Amino acid sequence: MTGAASGAESPAPTDPTAPYAGFEGTVGKIFSTSEPHWPEPPTAPEGAPNVIVMMADDLGYSDLGCYGSEIDTPELDRLAAGGLRYTDFHVNPMCSPTRASLLTGLNHHMAGMAQVAHSDPGFPGYSHELRDNAVTMSETFRDAGWATFMLGKWHLTKDSHLSDGAPKASWPLQRGFDRYYGILDAFTNFHQPHRLYSDNHHIDVERYPDGYYFTDDLTDQAMRMVDELRSSHPRRPFFMYFSHGAVHAPLQAPAADIALFRGRYASGWDRLREQRFERQRELGVVPPNAVLPGRNTEDLHEVGPWDDLDDRSKELFARYMEVYAGVDRNFGRLRRHLEAIGEWDNTLVLFTSDNGGSREGQYTGTSAYFRTLLSQVRPTDLEVVDTDYARLDLLGGPRTLAHYPMGWAMVSCTPFRLYKINTHRGGHSVPFIVNWPARFGTADGALAGGVRGQYQHVTDVFPTLAELCGVAVPMSRNGVPAPEPAGASFAATFIDPAAPSTHPEQYYENFGHRGFYRDGWSVVTCHRPRRPFSQDRWELHNLAEDPTECRDLAATHPDRLEEMQQAWDRAAWANQVYPLDEGNQLVRILRPPWYDELAADTTLRPGTPTLERWRSQQLIFQKSFDIDVSLRWRPGDAGVLVAHGDQGGGYMLYVEDDRLLFAHNAYGDMTVLDCGPLAGEASSVQLAMENPGNLVWNASLSVEGEPVGEAPGLVSLMAMAPFEGIDVGVDRRSPVSWDVYERHGPFPYTGELQAVTYRPGELASDAGSLWLDYIKANGTRYE
């Protein structure tokens, strides 16, 4: 029997609306008997400001007029005159680490960014992408109701994730930006950028218009993003991270900007450094007790007297400095646009830099940046002033990738010692300007033009902006708890010049250089690569009495020295700083095993967008390789078959006047091999590049399997060159050969080109990966 008669209990009635749990309306069977509810969209507080965080690249403490420079920066000086300048603001002494700390509020190793975002040696602090559970400033402002825009240099994605087929978890849009326009890389050619990105894809540019300049383009795009937002929403505020590529190398500028500075640097770095220091004293941006240190004398960082240079070197070195106008001019353009559309007054603006002036130009500067980067990794005989002097009139234009000598980096960092990468104050002391016209120009108008001397760090920017804008910082990301923030808001110092610093201590580390700050005292080392860390000399400085680190008190305060060394070590373990880079290139040689599949034979077809630069390098880097070109050539067909590189270095195969030619660009020095006329209907061309080691390529060319030419003893390209990826059937953007470009532009192939196949071969005898065990065993003595 069943049912009630059986005595069994009936099932409890169920609530049919249970699947709607949490819905705040009511649900009937039809709309007419139901009550709707709409969740509130993320909305910024009433009257919330727009926010612009603008970061220059490699701009040292003294490189703005309002911080003592002879460089004309009227627009940024005007920003400072209406706002506040900080004189004890610090970053990490390198670009990617500072950008990671800025966006996350974390110390850079804890954010995953120990060094520049290129390699991945397999340790947490060196993953060289933003860690998954790090909450970013852009994500926070987006979720609080701001539109989020980014312009310019990202440099928070490791090289292996730059290409279209790679994961994009550490690309700008995946880290909180609604819109992005710029470069994911560390730098680019300002006249002919190697790879522009818009939002989540790269832009396939074949040729830039005459007069193109990257900083101008970024500013145009920034104004367009604001206009698009305001036309579609009347009051939603925007958060804009404007990350300049300038004034990082290559030092390039429009001719009109260069003309503004012609002759200004003829007096040399010693005199100009003294003049900057005197202006800094007059402006009140250095403490009254500050002393200008002598020229840098540390091993590998030393600068000689300007007066000891010969006349030709003086002329060349002065010309490297004539490229600074673009950032200031374009800031003025952006400001005037915001003023014209009524957005400026309620826009909170921060301007700073990512590190001090760069020493990457070494002792004599360079017209070929990649050549000089190579010299820092392994000795070469390629650094020749004669070569650079011959390019004197090309400096600043698209044909040279210039960088100034170390003496000008010393001037950039006035009045502090050393440079970018170093943990002395020259590496991490930078300008910091804040302005909020609606706040500083009205009730708090007395703030305008003020100077603040509190010690603050780039990790403090995120919490400061969050407090000023009334935004709560999430404590987790995607359900995973976020690391403890390293910074603290210093908004109180805006109003009260006597408010205490909110950053009592800070560790520093970069490429083995170490430092630690606590309550006005610092310890610091200058590490020489491949020297035991135990042999580093720690300096101790009382910064209240010695703000430029001129008087080492280590011998007189040994207990304080030891205490602060131990504090650095504790901070290092807590922030995933270890292991330290001993300078033997292990940080670059170590790589995940799955990279090997990217060195397999690769076939590219006409019409394929430029293969991304790192992906392209896996086919040729420190190894021999063959290129097979399949085509059906007929008389009259002409153009580029394959091109890899740009004006900084590369190689190409092309057909001109029915002749096969091979061009090799060795960091600006050209070799052209005429392989003779093509005959009949040629169907295959081969280029074999043998790499026996010692920076050598031996090139052999053949047609239909028959040898047609050789070019032994070519310079094999390294140190990020070739920087443009592989093109098939055209040479896009910056060309390998300027002569060919002047005759034909990108020179698209006019015939039937079927495919180009790269076949990677044996590693060079001195390739680092072959010597990994030896390097590690030898490196143990550096601990």
* Ramachandran assignment for 491, one of left (phi > 0), alpha (psi -120 to 50 degrees), beta (any other): alpha
Q: At what angle do helices 461-469 and 95-104 cross, to 10 degrees?
A: 30
pLDDT of residue 2: 46
DSSP element (H, E) containing 341: none
Average pLDDT over residues 445-453: 84
Going by the DSSP 8-state scheme, the letter that residue 362 receives in this structure is T
Same domain (yes/no): 312, 344: yes
Residues 493 and 575 in one domain: no
User: Within a 10 A sphere around the Cβ of 483, how many other Cβ atoms?
Assistant: 18
pLDDT at residue 736 in the model: 99
The confidence band for 783, taking pLDDT boundaries of 50, 70 and 90, is confident
Of 332-341, 408-417, 437-446, give the lowest mean pLDDT range.
437-446
Using only the alpha carbons of the chain, give its radius of gyration: 29
Mean pLDDT value across residues 140-150: 98
51-66 per-position pLDDT tens digit: 999 999 999 999 999 9
Residues 481 and 597 in one domain: no
Task: State whether 383 and 333 are in the same domain.
Answer: yes
pLDDT at 138: 99
Q: Rounded to whole angstroms, how far apart are CA atoms 406 and 426?
A: 13
Positive/negative CA dihedral, 446, 449, 453, 457: positive
Domain match, 138 and 151 both: yes
Specify whether 426 is located in the same domain as 566.
no
Is residue 153 assigned to a domain? yes
Look up the CATH number of the domain holding residue 515: 3.30.1120.10
Q: Is the pLDDT of residue 8 over 90?
A: no
- Model confidence at 463: pLDDT above 90: yes
DSSP characters over 608-640: PPPPPHHHHHTTTTTEEEEEEEEEE--TT--EE
CATH code of the domain containing 480: 3.40.720.10
Considering the domain architecture, whether residues 243 and 279 belong to the same structural domain is answered as yes
Instruction: Taking residues 703-727, report their average pLDDT.
Output: 95
Q: What is the CATH number of the domain that holds 674?
A: 2.60.120.200
Give the model confidence (pLDDT) of 651-667 as tens digits: 999 999 999 999 999 99
Confidence of residue 588 (pLDDT cuts 50, 70, 90): confident
pLDDT of 670-694, one tens digit each?
A: 999 999 999 888 899 999 999 999 9
pLDDT at 4 over 80: no
Instruction: Read off the pLDDT of residues 615-643 as tens digits, 9 standing for 90 and up.
Output: 999 999 999 999 999 999 999 999 999 99
Same domain for 564 and 695, yes or no, is no
Predicted local distance difference test score (pLDDT) of residue 579: 96
Per-residue pLDDT band for 441 (boundaries 50, 70, 90) equals low
Predicted pLDDT at 382: 54
Collapsed DSSP state (helix, strand, coil) of residue 722: coil
| 425: Cβ contacts below 8 Å, ≥ 6 apart | 90, 413, 416, 417, 418, 547, 548, 549
List the alpha helices (DSSP H) in 500-590: 558-574, 586-589
Residue 24, domain member (yes or no): no
What kind and span of H or E run contains 190?
Answer: none
State which of 1-15, 322-336, 374-388 shows the largest mean pLDDT. Answer: 322-336
Is residue 782 assigned to a domain? Answer: no
Q: Is residue 713 part of a domain?
A: yes
Q: Confirm whether 411 is domain-assigned.
A: yes
Note whether 498 and 523 are same-domain residues.
Answer: no
Q: How confident is the model at residue 378 (pLDDT cuts 50, 70, 90)?
A: low
pLDDT for 254 = 94
In this structure, are 601 and 582 located in the same domain?
no
What distances in angstroms separate CA 750 from CA 395, 638, 639, 730, one per listed residue?
A: 34, 6, 6, 10
Predicted local distance difference test score (pLDDT) of residue 1: 41
Same domain, 613 and 555: no
State which of 487, 506, 525 marks the end of a domain.
506
Last residue of a domain, one of 450, 476, 506: 506
Indicate the pLDDT class of residue 443, thresholds 50, 70 and 90.
very low
Q: Are strands 147-153 and 238-243 parallel, antiparallel or unpaired?
A: parallel
Edge to edge, the sheet with strand 706-715 lists 602-604, 752-763, 623-632, 684-693, 696-703, 706-715
For the stretch 198-236, pLDDT in tens is 999 999 999 999 999 999 999 999 999 999 999 999 999
Residues designated as active site:
95, 155
Note whether residue 670 is domain-resident: yes
Q: What domain range is 196 assigned to? A: 50-506
pLDDT at 170 over 50: yes
Q: Which residue, 485, 506, 527, sits at the end of a domain?
A: 506
Shared domain check, 726 and 700:
yes
User: How many domains does the chain fold into?
Assistant: 3
Query: pLDDT at residue 646 above 70?
Result: yes
Q: Is residue 385 part of a domain?
A: yes
Give percent above pLDDT 90 in the chain. Answer: 86
Q: Would you say residue 780 lies in a domain?
A: no
Per-residue pLDDT tens for 297-326?
A: 999 999 999 999 999 999 999 998 876 778
